[in-house]
């Protein structure tokens, strides 16, 4: 969380930094700031709230500085306020920081004895003072940052400038991403390559422990032992189109409507229907290794964890000699869990930067477990640290609430399960129905978007005034209910819970009265009658029930959204389109900030 940008070159630094911050705002948006400078004269602009607040300050200040750094913040230490916003300034040093400095209190006491005093509540100001205290000795910024970081415990991605040094931005990372964009006579810095799009496609991904000096002429890197490292410059492909709203009012609805296309990209070359073929190029596992797998940990956070749960229900159906543990990363990492023989760990993350997921990846690697990634962001930390995996290729997802990422994650995991099951002997006759349905899924999603959008919009208008809701389902529709509940609560701020339909009567039903509505997912299968009983129980207590189903049977409920589809197995992913649209329209009706809901950030890079 939090976004970092930096620039040194000959162009207007303020506008480059601002543009970068707008692109990174999805990482956090409590407060923002930039500093640019010239000949010892610095212009520091900071605001509480969104980056848009900086636009007018920049208009008023008219600087033609060509070096600077900037930040958009998701508060950890200290409330969101101008005072706590980055860049922080102590003495000659300005610094922006992602992450947490754990020993900042100890460092603060030492610095106070050296005459430093502090105006903010942040750990970042302490780090800034620490760098300044060393910098004042011989004015070598690169050396001062390296030395300061040797004294720090914690996670960080930082960019640092000294107002009397117009040639250098020094950056460093440990556990929080940083990428350097190499241009002609200019160098860009960002916590995420999306901020660099349009400026350069030549990038250096800094590794943990490395510190880099960025100048107009190039980049010098050293490792944590202060040894020079030859930086590897890579070319990244990023689509600027994916970062625009394409005529939609919000990124969220644009990304919901992206799904036929984004899912096709996930499937491209991997599901080849006319050849009865499933293929995953990046697993780096032989058939023999796939055959040997007996236990899979699928590790993720948030929406990615629900995608993982859903996929595990599918995989269990066709890989019956494999036990799957779907675990939330922030829990797994503190458990003394056992790793059975022949285990595999799969890390699922849209951003590839989620701190808890990365921590679990490190732990699994240390224990010698083979690790795969299911990741959207190319070149992200998880993608780089796993032994192999699947890029979902869903394109940039900007809205904080994940939609197209979710659909592609489920499908990528199911694809992996099928490839593994084939290695274990699943016949092509058994695989073919999955190939057929996966191949048809993008079109089926397009049909739901086409036929259900208006109906769901109206539904949302009718239910936006409720304050409480339950989402329920059985079997694979249970994790789908969890995801539906999450989508609605994060965008609408309605109190929503997801529950297994059969579990409601073991406690939660005590809450039901006519202040509640309930979204019940019901498949036309052997669980239909049981699901109907659960719905009747809720209605008997005054709850208002919306059923989302593929059944044409008669259903007694306040509202029924019927999905017509020839799919049998992947219908739940169509139900989920209804959940996504519903959450979107409720949020719009309530006047909420749809793409950047309160208190959230898209990429959670703190634990």
Site string for ligand G6P, 545-584 (x = CB under 6 A): ----------------------------------------
DSSP state of 28: -
**Residue entry with tokens 């990741």:** 375
Active site residue 602: yes
Considering the complex, what minimum distance in angstroms separates the CB of residue 599 from ligand G6P?
10
Rank residues 133 and 266 by Cβ distance to ligand G6P and give the closer one.
266
Number of residues that bind ligand G6P (CB under 6 A): 16
Cβ-Cβ contacts under 8 Å for 268 (sequence gap 6 or more): 393
Measured from the CB atom, is 55 or 331 closer to ligand G6P?
A: 331
Q: How far is the CB of 596 from ligand G6P (least distance, A)?
A: 10
Please report, as residue ranges, which positions from 280 to 319 form the binding site for ligand G6P (by CB under 6 A).
301-304
User: What is the three-class DSSP state of 519?
Assistant: strand
Residue from 14, 133, 187, 349 touching ligand G6P (CB under 6 A): that is: 349
State the CB neighbour count (10 A cutoff) for residue 368.
8
Secondary structure element (H or E) that encloses residue 320, with its range: none
Residue 374 lies near ligand G6P (rule: CB under 6 A): no
Q: Which is nearer to ligand G6P, 172 or 604 (CB)?
A: 604
Nearer to ligand G6P, 155 or 322 (CB): 155
The least CB distance from residue 307 to ligand G6P, in Å, is 8
Question: At closest approach, how far in Å is the CB of 346 from ligand G6P?
Answer: 13
Nearer to ligand G6P (CB atom), residue 104 or residue 416: 416
Q: What is the SS3 assignment for 34-86?
A: EEEEECCEEEEEEEECCCHHHHHHHHHHCCCCCEEEEEEECCCCCCCCCCCCC
Residue with Cβ nearer ligand G6P (176 or 354) = 354
76 binds ligand G6P (CB under 6 A): no
- Distance (Å, rounded) from C-alpha 277 to C-alpha 432? 9
Cα(29)–Cα(169) distance, integer angstroms = 24
Q: How far is the CB of 347 from ligand G6P (least distance, A)?
A: 9
Q: Residue 266 and residue 557: Cα distance in Å, rounded?
A: 36
Rounded to a whole number of angstroms, the minimum distance from the CB of residue 416 to ligand G6P is 17
Closer residue to ligand G6P in complex, CB, 58/600 = 600
**What secondary structure letter does DSSP report for 195?**
G
Stretch near ligand G6P under the rule CB under 6 A, chosen from 71-79, 191-199, 316-324, 349-357: 349-357
Using CB under 6 A as the binding rule, the residues of this chain from 354 to 373 that contact ligand G6P are 354, 357
Alpha-helix runs per DSSP H in 200-343: 251-257, 259-267, 287-292, 302-318, 329-332
Q: Which residues lie across from 271 on neighbouring strands?
A: 278
Q: Are 447 and 388 in contact (CB under 8 A)?
A: no
Question: What is the DSSP pairing of strand 41-48 with strand 202-205?
Answer: unpaired
Pick the closer one to ligand G6P by CB: 307 or 476: 307
Query: Rule CB under 6 A: is residue 602 a binding residue for ligand G6P?
Result: yes
**2 is an active site residue:** yes
The answer to whether 594 contacts ligand G6P (rule: CB under 6 A) is no
Least separation in angstroms between residue 325's CB and ligand G6P is 18
Report which residue's Cβ sits closest to ligand G6P. 302
Check residue 350 for interaction with ligand G6P (CB under 6 A).
Answer: yes
CA distance 544 to 540: 10
Q: How far is the CB of 522 from ligand G6P (least distance, A)?
A: 26
Closest CA to 27 of 1, 5, 46: 1
> Per CB under 6 A, which region of 245-253, 285-293, 396-404, 583-591 contacts ligand G6P?
396-404
Question: How far lies 345's CA from each of 21, 295, 314, 332, 363, in Å?
Answer: 34, 8, 17, 12, 11
Q: Of 108, 404, 489, 602, which is the active-site residue? A: 602
Is 200 a binding residue for ligand G6P by CB under 6 A? The answer is: no
Nearer to ligand G6P, 408 or 603 (CB): 603
Task: Kindly give, in sequence order, each residue whose CB lies less than 8 Å from that of residue 155, ignoring residues fewer than 6 positions away.
Answer: 99, 100, 174, 175, 176, 355, 605, 606, 607
- φ, ψ for residue 92, nearest 5 deg: -90, -10
Considering only 31, 98, 351, 407, the residue that binds ligand G6P (CB under 6 A) is: 351
From residue 230, alpha-carbon distances to 142, 176, 218, 477, 490 in Å are 16, 21, 12, 51, 44
The sign of the CA dihedral 412, 352, 584, 485 is: positive
Q: Is 604 an interacting residue with respect to ligand G6P (CB under 6 A)?
A: yes
Give the separation between CA 128 and CA 137, rounded to whole angstroms: 15
What is the per-residue binding string for ligand G6P in 398-437, x denoting contact by CB under 6 A? --xxx-----------------------------------
Site map 92..131 versus ligand G6P, x via CB under 6 A: ----------------------------------------
* Shortest distance, position 157 Cβ to ligand G6P, whole Å: 16
Look at the block and give the residue holding tokens 């209804």: 578
Separation between Cα atoms, residue 253 and residue 586, nearest integer Å: 12
Of 402 and 549, which has the nearer Cβ to ligand G6P?
A: 402
Choices 24-32, 180-188, 351-359, 418-426; region in contact with ligand G6P by CB under 6 A: 351-359
Query: Of 2, 43, 214, 371, which is the active-site residue?
Result: 2
Site residues (vs ligand G6P, CB under 6 A): 301-304, 349-351, 354, 357, 400-402, 600, 602-604
Which of the residues are catalytic? Answer: 2, 602
């Amino acid at each position: 969380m939090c976004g970092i940008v930096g620039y040194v070159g000959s162009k207007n630094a303020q506008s480059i930094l601002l543009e970068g911050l707008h692109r990174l705002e999805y990482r956090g948006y409590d407060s923002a700031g930039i500093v640019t400078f010239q000949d010892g004269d610095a212009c520091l602009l900071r605001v509480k709230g969104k980056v848009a607040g900086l636009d007018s300050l920049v208009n008023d200040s008219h600087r033609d500085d060509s070096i600077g750094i900037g930040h958009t913040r998701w508060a950890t230490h200290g409330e969101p306020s101008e005072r706590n916003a980055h860049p922080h300034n102590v003495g000659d040093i300005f610094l922006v920081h992602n992450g947490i400095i754990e020993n900042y209190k100890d460092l603060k006491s030492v610095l106070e004895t050296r005459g430093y005093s502090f105006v903010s509540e942040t750990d970042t100001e302490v780090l800034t003072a620490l760098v300044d205290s060393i910098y004042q000795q011989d004015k070598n910024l690169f050396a001062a940052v390296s030395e300061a970081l040797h004294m720090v415990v914690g996670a960080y991605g930082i960019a640092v400038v000294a107002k009397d040094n117009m040639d250098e931005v020094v950056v460093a990372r440990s556990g929080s991403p940083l990428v350097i964009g190499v241009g002609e006579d200019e160098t860009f810095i960002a916590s995420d390559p999306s901020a660099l799009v349009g400026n350069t496609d030549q990038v250096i991904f800094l590794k943990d422990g490395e510190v880099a000096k960025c100048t107009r002429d190039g980049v010098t890197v050293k490792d944590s032992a202060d040894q020079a490292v030859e930086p590897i410059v890579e070319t990244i492909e990023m689509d600027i189109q994916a970062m625009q709203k394409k005529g939609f009012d919000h990124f969220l609805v644009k990304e919901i409507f992206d799904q036929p296309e984004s899912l096709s990209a996930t499937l491209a070359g991997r599901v080849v229907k006319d050849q009865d073929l499933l293929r995953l190029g990046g697993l780096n596992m032989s058939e023999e290794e796939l055959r040997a797998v007996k236990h899979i940990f699928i590790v993720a956070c948030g929406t990615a964890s629900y995608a993982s749960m859903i996929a595990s229900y599918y995989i269990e159906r066709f890989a019956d000699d494999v036990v799957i543990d779907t675990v939330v990363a922030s829990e797994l990492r503190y458990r003394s869990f056992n790793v059975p023989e022949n285990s595999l760990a799969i890390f699922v993350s849209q951003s590839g930067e989620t701190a808890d997921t990365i921590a679990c990846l490190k732990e699994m690697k240390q224990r010698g477990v083979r690790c795969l990634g299911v990741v959207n962001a190319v070149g992200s930390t998880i993608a780089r640290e796993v032994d192999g995996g699947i890029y979902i290729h869903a394109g940039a997802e900007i809205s904080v609430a994940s939609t197209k990422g979710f659909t592609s994650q489920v499908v990528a995991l199911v694809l992996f399960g099928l490839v593994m099951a084939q290695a274990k002997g699943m016949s092509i006759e058994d695989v073919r129905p999955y190939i057929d349905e996966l191949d048809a899924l993008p079109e089926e999603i397009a049909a739901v978007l086409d036929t259900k959008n208006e109906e769901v919009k109206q539904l949302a208008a009718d239910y936006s005034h409720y304050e409480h809701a339950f989402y329920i389902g059985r079997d694979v529709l249970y994790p789908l209910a969890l995801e539906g509940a999450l989508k609605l609560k994060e965008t609408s701020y309605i109190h929503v819970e997801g529950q297994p339909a059969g579990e409601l009567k073991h406690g939660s039903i005590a809450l039901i009265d006519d202040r509640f509505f309930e979204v019940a997912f019901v498949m036309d299968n052997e669980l239909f009658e049981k699901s109907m009983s659960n719905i009747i129980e809720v209605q008997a207590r005054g709850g208002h029930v919306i059923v989302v189903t593929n059944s044409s049977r008669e259903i007694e409920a306040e509202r029924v959204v019927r999905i017509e589809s020839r799919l049998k197995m992947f219908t739940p992913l169509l139900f989920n389109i209804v959940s996504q649209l519903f959450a979107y329209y409720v949020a719009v009706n309530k006047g909420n900030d749809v793409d950047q809901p309160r208190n959230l950030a898209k990429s959670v890079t703190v634990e």
